[in-house]
Amino acid sequence: MAQVAVIMGSDSDLPVMGKALDVLAEFGIGYEVSVASAHRTPDKVTEFAHSAADRGIAVIIAGAGMAAALPGVLAAHTLLPVIGVPLSGSALGGTDALYSIVQMPPGVPVATVGIDAAGNAALLAVQILALNNSALAEKLAEYRRQMAAKVEQSSQKVQEEL
Ligand code: RP5
Domain boundaries, the chain: 4-131, 134-162
pLDDT (mean) for 107-136? 98
Between the CA of 150 and the centroid of ligand 1 the distance, in Å, is 35
- Cα separation of 19 and 109, whole Å? 23
Contact 3, 28 (CB under 8 A): no
Nearest CA to ligand 1 atom 7: 65
Percent of the chain whose predicted confidence (pLDDT) is above 70: 100
pLDDT category, 162, cuts 50, 70, 90? confident
Give the model confidence (pLDDT) of 23-36 as tens digits.
Answer: 999 999 999 999 99
Ligand 1 atom nearest the C-alpha of 11 is 13
Contact 1, 56 (CB under 8 A): yes
pLDDT (mean) for 140-151? 98
Between the CA of 9 and the centroid of ligand 1 the distance, in Å, is 6
Between the CA of 160 and the centroid of ligand 1 the distance, in Å, is 46
Residue 55: per-residue pLDDT? 96
Statement: residue 6 has pLDDT above 90: yes
Ligand 1 atom nearest the C-alpha of 12 is 12
Residue 51: per-residue pLDDT? 98
pLDDT (mean) for 32-57? 98
Contact 130, 137 (CB under 8 A): yes
Nearest CA to ligand 1 atom 6: 65
CATH number of 4-131: 3.40.50.1970
Nearest CA to ligand 1 atom 10: 10
Nearest CA to ligand 1 atom 5: 65
Claim: this prediction has a pTM higher than 0.85: yes
